[in-house]
């Protein structure tokens, strides 16, 4: 077995002496002679509350690595907390991926265990591992336990959106709303709805990057620690077998991820993350693949926001394996997992233990549940919508546009009693794409005008070049590309224009002649909102970020770079 770390530790020269001596610090004498060096890329942080328990998970991983004959090495990495970071955690996903990539490449590491949980952490870690292409395996941090309020379960995120709208509608008092706050987050772990964190943990398993059966275990469940220990052992075996991300995350693996995304009713954010990960590997994944592969996949998981239950219920009902076993015929038969075995062979005899939480193929929540990709003169490069979270009667709709040039304008005007809006209006928010905001925030699910909420309206068609939280719901068209900030057609829409949404035919259009649309100038309000001073990472990001339709990665980071570093440090 030839170890990458031997380029640092093997030999009798001065540099080998330096590398070993400074790393010895109580390590056994054979730590540098044939033992795989396994980094634990740990995104634990007190400022990322969903990941704050990962230090305990890391200790179990460490024990597993030692038990298998490896040397565990804690490697703190950039941690992105979804709930607190301004202006949006997505602004730093690529930075976190780049920083982790460089640390993995620069250090004497043979393999890595990736510890993530909160929305952007697993995507950034997989992007990094894909770029370096050393043996890598994910341990998802897991969802929180279900909290209750007045005897009813609370869906983390989803019920925030629902209850806050009821306050604005006048059907729930602010006091009652705030009294639910202490019940929302019951335990360690990330959101317990099928938001982005839950989605990316499950999708990581469908991609083959976790020990099968690990994703979806609640963070407070001791079985997660047992799986973490096993994953540490597996990481050592992966090094000895030279099983790398480029062998695991193949075109077939991304097919499996898309099938899983549809079957679980997963977050739309998975689209932009999977495109970015594929881009790091050189796998030819396009926006159309999500529609082509996923559109006919049934929705089988009855979880909020598309359904009723929460992640703890999914785990007790049989977990991801039980879901995928229902759609085995749609999966790629050759795509392997980190164990070296095909994903389909790991499903075994997985059973559904609660058929209301996990539906059978014959009795789905929806027969066709995948992400729909829309095109038209309003989205030449594509836009997406999640039909499972939308109102079915709005999937074919025509209405007058009410345009907002920034998220701040929405908050300032949406509750104006004189706002010219009705239930058929299409709310348009622009300037929120990767470059425009910058960072592509989760603002696409605009709040509804309070006067309509009071009248009983609970959904409207909304169109935006930004994202929405995976915990959110509604008839929301998002990721519109090209974005307004790069001169996309969305920049030229005016209030009063007629917009047509036709999801069955995959169309999103503004009903004006192409010549007139091309001749229009972007609004002054949009240009003013985009004219922000920038520096540092933000400036680099704006200068180099690609569109949402290709993953919103930095243009100079697409394609793998490998792990070789030829030059010595001394």
Those residues whose C-beta lies under 8 Å from the C-beta of residue 531, and which sit 6 or more positions away, are none
Closest CA to 295 of 384, 379, 394: 384
How far apart are alpha carbons 269 and 80 in whole angstroms?
15
> Cα dist. 303→79, 195, 256 in Å?
27, 10, 20
Domain boundary among 167, 184, 201: 184
Torsion, Cα 447 452 453 457, to 10 degrees, reads: -100
Q: Are residues 43 and 139 in the same domain?
A: yes
Q: Are residues 514 and 410 in the same domain?
A: yes
| Domain span at 173 | 148-184
Q: How many domains does the chain have?
A: 3
Within a domain: residue 560? no
How far apart are alpha carbons 315 and 323 in whole angstroms?
11
User: pLDDT tens across 26-61, in order?
Assistant: 888 899 988 999 999 999 999 999 999 999 999 999
Its sign, for the CA torsion 374, 118, 49, 155, is positive
Please give the average per-residue pLDDT across 378-407, as a whole number.
96
Between 454 and 528, name the one with better pLDDT.
454
User: pLDDT tens across 333-351, in order?
Assistant: 999 999 999 999 999 889 9
Q: Are residues 174 and 241 in the same domain?
A: no
How far apart are alpha carbons 499 and 463 in whole angstroms?
10
Within a domain: residue 99? yes
Contact (Cβ atoms closer than 8 angstroms) between residue 458 and residue 406: no
Closest CA to 451 of 424, 499, 416, 484: 416
Within a domain: residue 21? no
Within a domain: residue 296? yes
User: pLDDT tens across 68-109, in order?
Assistant: 999 999 999 999 999 999 999 999 999 999 999 999 999 999
Q: Are residues 96 and 136 in the same domain?
A: yes
Q: Tell me whether strands 396-404 and 498-502 are parallel, antiparallel or unpaired.
A: antiparallel
DSSP state of 447: P
Q: Are residues 411 and 302 in the same domain?
A: no
What confidence score (pLDDT) does residue 353 get?
A: 98
Within a domain: residue 473? yes
Q: Are residues 492 and 402 in the same domain?
A: yes
Those residues whose C-beta lies under 8 Å from the C-beta of residue 4, and which sit 6 or more positions away, are 108, 109, 110, 134, 563
**Does the pLDDT of residue 529 top 80, yes or no?**
no
DSSP state of 485: G
Those residues whose C-beta lies under 8 Å from the C-beta of residue 253, and which sit 6 or more positions away, are 206, 207, 208, 332, 335, 336, 343
What confidence score (pLDDT) does residue 300 get?
A: 98
User: pLDDT tens across 444-483, in order?
Assistant: 999 999 999 999 999 999 999 999 998 888 999 999 999 9
**Does the pLDDT of residue 128 top 90, yes or no?**
yes
Residue 8 phi, psi dihedral angles, 5° rounding: -95, -45
User: pLDDT tens across 510-525, in order?
Assistant: 999 999 999 999 888 8
User: pLDDT tens across 266-322, in order?
Assistant: 999 999 999 999 999 999 999 999 999 999 999 999 999 989 999 999 999 999 999
What confidence score (pLDDT) does residue 561 get?
A: 83
What confidence score (pLDDT) does residue 410 get?
A: 97
pTM of the predicted model as reported, rounded to 2 decimal places: 0.96
Domain boundary among 135, 162, 184: 184
Q: Are residues 334 and 404 in the same domain?
A: no
The residue count of the chain comes to 570
Within a domain: residue 548? no
What confidence score (pLDDT) does residue 162 get?
A: 85
What confidence score (pLDDT) does residue 384 get?
A: 98
Q: Are residues 141 and 152 in the same domain?
A: no
What confidence score (pLDDT) does residue 349 get?
A: 87
- Prior bond to 305 cis, omega within 30? yes
Q: Are residues 428 and 528 in the same domain?
A: yes
User: pLDDT tens across 222-268, in order?
Assistant: 999 999 999 999 999 999 999 999 999 999 999 999 999 999 999 99
Those residues whose C-beta lies under 8 Å from the C-beta of residue 68, and which sit 6 or more positions away, are 232, 233, 234, 235, 236, 237
Average pLDDT along the chain:
95
Read off the CATH number of the domain in which 414 is found. 3.50.30.80
Domain boundary among 138, 162, 184: 184
Q: How far is CA 250 from the centre of its chain?
A: 19
Q: Are residues 395 and 460 in the same domain?
A: yes
Within a domain: residue 541? no
Q: Are residues 165 and 273 in the same domain?
A: no
What confidence score (pLDDT) does residue 369 get?
A: 84
User: pLDDT tens across 158-209, in order?
Assistant: 888 888 888 888 988 998 888 888 888 899 999 999 999 999 999 999 999 9
Within a domain: residue 558? no
Q: Are residues 180 and 209 in the same domain?
A: no
């Amino acid at each position: 077995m030839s170890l990458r770390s031997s380029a640092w530790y093997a030999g009798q020269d001065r540099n080998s002496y330096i590398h070993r001596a400074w790393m010895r610090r109580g390590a056994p004498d054979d730590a540098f002679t044939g033992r795989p060096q396994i980094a634990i890329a740990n995104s634990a942080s007190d400022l990322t509350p969903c990941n704050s328990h990962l230090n305990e998970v890391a200790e179990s991983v460490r024990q597993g690595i030692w038990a298998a004959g490896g040397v565990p090495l804690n490697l703190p990495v950039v941690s992105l907390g979804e709930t607190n970071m301004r202006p949006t955690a997505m602004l730093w996903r690529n930075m976190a991926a780049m920083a982790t990539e460089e640390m993995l490449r620069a250090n004497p590491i043979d393999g890595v265990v990736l510890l993530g949980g909160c929305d952007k952490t697993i995507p950034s870690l997989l992007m990094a591992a894909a770029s370096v292409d050393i043996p890598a395996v994910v341990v998802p941090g897991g969802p929180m336990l279900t909290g209750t309020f007045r005897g009813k379960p609370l869906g983390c995120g989803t019920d925030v959106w629902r209850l806050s709208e009821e306050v604005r509608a006048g059907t729930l008092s602010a006091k009652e709303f705030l009294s639910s706050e202490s019940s929302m987050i019951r335990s360690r772990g990330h959101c317990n709805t099928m938001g982005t964190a839950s989605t990316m943990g499950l999708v990581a398993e469908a991609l083959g990057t976790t020990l099968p059966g690990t994703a979806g275990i609640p963070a407070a469940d001791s079985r997660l620690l047992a799986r973490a220990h096993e994953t540490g052992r597996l990481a050592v075996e992966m090094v000895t077998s030279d099983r790398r991300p480029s062998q695991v995350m193949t075109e077939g693996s991304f097919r499996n991820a898309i099938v899983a995304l549809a079957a679980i009713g997963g977050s739309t954010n998975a689209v932009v993350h999977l495109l970015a990960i594929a881009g790091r590997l050189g796998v030819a994944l396009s926006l159309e693949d999500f529609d082509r592969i996923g559109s006919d996949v049934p929705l089988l998981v009855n979880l909020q926001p598309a359904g009723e239950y929460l992640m703890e219920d999914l785990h007790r009902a049989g977990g991801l394996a039980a879901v995928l076993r229902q759609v085995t015929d749609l999966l790629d038969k050759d795509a392997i997992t980190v164990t070296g075995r095909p994903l389909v062979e790991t499903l075994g005899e997985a059973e559904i233990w609660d058929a209301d939480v996990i539906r059978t193929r014959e009795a789905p929540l929806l027969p066709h549940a995948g992400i729909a990709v829309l095109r038209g003169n309003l989205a030449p490069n594509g836009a997406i919508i999640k039909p499972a979270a939308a109102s079915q009667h709005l999937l074919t709709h025509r209405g007058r546009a009410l345009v907002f040039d920034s998220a701040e304008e929405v908050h300032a005007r949406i509750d104006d009693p004189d706002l010219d809006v009705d239930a058929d209006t299409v709310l348009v928010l622009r300037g929120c794409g990767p470059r425009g905001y910058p960072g592509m925030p989760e603002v696409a699910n605009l709040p509804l005008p309070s006067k309509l909420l009071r009248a009983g309206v609970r959904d409207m068609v909304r169109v935006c070049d930004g994202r929405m939280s995976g915990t959110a719901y509604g008839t929301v068209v998002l990721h519109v590309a090209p974005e307004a900030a790069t001169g996309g057609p969305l920049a030229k829409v005016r209030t009063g224009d007629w917009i047509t949404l036709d999801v069955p035919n995959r169309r999103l259009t503004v009903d004006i002649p192409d010549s007139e649309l091309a001749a229009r100038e972007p609004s002054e309000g949009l240009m003013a909102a985009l004219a922000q001073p920038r520096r540092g990472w933000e400036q680099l990001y704006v200068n180099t970020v690609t569109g949402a339709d290709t993953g919103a990665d930095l243009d100079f980071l697409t394609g793998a770079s490998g792990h070789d570093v030829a030059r010595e440090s001394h």
